Amino acid sequence: MRKNYKDYKYQIFSYAILVVTFAILVLFMHARLDYLLGADESSELLLGKLLAEENHVLSQNWYYSTELRFLNTQLIYALCFKLFSNWHVVRVVASAILYLIMLISYYYLCRQLKRQKYFAITASILLLPFSAEYFIVVLKGLYYIPHISISFLSVGLGYCMAIPICLLNLLYGPWKKQFRILLSVILLGSIQFVGNVHLIAQLNEDDNKELRAAIAFLKQEGYTQGYSTYWKGNLTTELSGGDIEMWIMCDDAAGAGIAEVQDVHTVFCWLQNKSHDNNFPKGKQFIMLTRDEYSRCNWQDKLLLENADYLSDELVIFGFDSEEELEGSF
């Protein structure tokens, strides 16, 4: 009876840690995602939006990148777009769902290993940013959660899963009980500490401050369509809540830089809607470049910096009342 009571208290404690860790992560994402998102994350969300509109799991109207996305994050985004119209809500709810999928698949693995008693206490580690890379590609970007979950479900082990499995071994290893408990507490406490330090550090990060200010200007001036490079394009669409559609000219990386773009109507065949090939903005439109991109583009003699409609330390925006005015500027 006494042993059962101790097990009960242990389970309550373990699940309390898991629930609190999950809640902190979701609340953090709700409060800080708009400050930390990048172009790659936004591109996946745009694909999910397109799939929701088409009622498909794959689209022939999207320029995929290095792979055809199937059992991946865009399916959860598409489902959420069926339920919500607010892009930020879709992002946060989809993140929470994907965290839950990872936890459920990990529970399945623990059960297969007959270690479900220790599921909750070790599962909380999966929700902690114990490294900057894990935070970026798993917890924020969500890129590898489907892969991790599939690995768990197939009882496969990968690098990211090594820490919780090592803790499982400690909890169920051949050592004396007191020693096992001490090692487990030290390991779990250390990971919790490092994870919380990483989260706190992210509170001071704001990678999109200037872009959000530029989006506020564009909305105020009534712009809903524009051109940019990859690194600001899809991100602008997401941070505007879908109010601004962007045509991507290039990714400004090696082999596809802004210096090589001669025509603003150039469409970069990468992570954007294929309709952009021949359906260009109508009415009011704009070109948005970073200062560095502007310094390397071929249009400085046509688009003078002093004629820009919006200037900040990072961004330059040229506005046009019509497609004809834009083309006339070139």
Within this chain, do residues 157 and 224 fall inside the same structural domain, yes or no?
A: no
- Domain final position from 202, 237, 266: 202
Within this chain, do residues 195 and 287 fall inside the same structural domain, yes or no?
A: no
97: pLDDT strictly greater than 90: yes
Examine residue 323 and state whether it is found in any structural domain, yes or no.
yes
Within this chain, do residues 291 and 319 fall inside the same structural domain, yes or no?
A: yes
Examine residue 121 and state whether it is found in any structural domain, yes or no.
yes
Tokens of 36: 């930390």
Lowest-confidence region among 14-23, 176-185, 260-269, 310-319: 176-185
158: pLDDT strictly greater than 50: no
Within this chain, do residues 9 and 27 fall inside the same structural domain, yes or no?
A: yes
Question: Do residues 261 and 300 lie in contact, with contact meaning Cβ atoms separated by under 8 Å?
Answer: no
Examine residue 67 and state whether it is found in any structural domain, yes or no.
no
248: pLDDT strictly greater than 80: yes
Lowest-confidence region among 9-13, 236-240, 279-283: 9-13
pLDDT > 70 in the chain, percent:
88
Examine residue 213 and state whether it is found in any structural domain, yes or no.
yes
* pLDDT range class, residue 96, cuts 50, 70, 90: very high
DSSP 3-state of 231: helix
DSSP 3-state of 87: helix
Instruction: Look up residue 260 and give its DSSP letter.
Output: G
* pLDDT range class, residue 256, cuts 50, 70, 90: low
pLDDT score, position 159: 46
Chain centre distance of CA 166: 28
160: pLDDT strictly greater than 70: no
pLDDT score, position 250: 87
Lowest-confidence region among 43-57, 108-122, 148-162, 227-241: 148-162
Question: Do residues 289 and 255 lie in contact, with contact meaning Cβ atoms separated by under 8 Å?
Answer: no
pLDDT score, position 257: 82
pLDDT score, position 162: 54
Lowest-confidence region among 14-18, 227-231, 254-258, 316-320: 254-258
Start-to-end CA distance of the chain, whole Å, equals: 84
Per residue in 162-197, pLDDT tens? 556 555 565 555 555 666 566 667 777 777 788 878
pLDDT score, position 254: 46
pLDDT score, position 262: 84
Within this chain, do residues 168 and 260 fall inside the same structural domain, yes or no?
A: no
Domain containing 324 equals: 209-328
Examine residue 57 and state whether it is found in any structural domain, yes or no.
no
161: pLDDT strictly greater than 70: no
d(CA 162, CA 299): 52
Rounded to 5 degrees, what are φ and ψ at 285? -155, 170
To the nearest whole number, what is the mean pLDDT of the chain? 88
Mean pLDDT for 134-143 is 93
77: pLDDT strictly greater than 80: yes
pLDDT score, position 181: 63
Chain centre distance of CA 308: 31
Of 223, 206, 203, 207, the C-alpha closest to 215 is: 223
Within this chain, do residues 322 and 306 fall inside the same structural domain, yes or no?
A: yes
Question: Do residues 105 and 127 lie in contact, with contact meaning Cβ atoms separated by under 8 Å?
Answer: no
Within this chain, do residues 109 and 185 fall inside the same structural domain, yes or no?
A: yes
Q: Which element (helix H / strand E) includes 193?
A: helix 177-202
Domains in the chain, number:
2
- Domain final position from 156, 181, 202: 202
Within this chain, do residues 181 and 225 fall inside the same structural domain, yes or no?
A: no
Examine residue 65 and state whether it is found in any structural domain, yes or no.
no
253 or 55, which is more confident? Answer: 55
Examine residue 322 and state whether it is found in any structural domain, yes or no.
yes
Within this chain, do residues 175 and 260 fall inside the same structural domain, yes or no?
A: no
pTM: 0.89
Per residue in 195-213, pLDDT tens? 878 888 888 899 999 999 9
Tokens of 192: 């919790």
pLDDT > 90 in the chain, percent:
60
Within this chain, do residues 215 and 303 fall inside the same structural domain, yes or no?
A: yes
6: pLDDT strictly greater than 80: no
Examine residue 78 and state whether it is found in any structural domain, yes or no.
no
Residue 229 burial (C-beta neighbours within 10 Å; 0-12, 13-18, 19+): buried
- Domain final position from 202, 230, 265: 202
Within this chain, do residues 221 and 89 fall inside the same structural domain, yes or no?
A: no
Within this chain, do residues 24 and 135 fall inside the same structural domain, yes or no?
A: yes
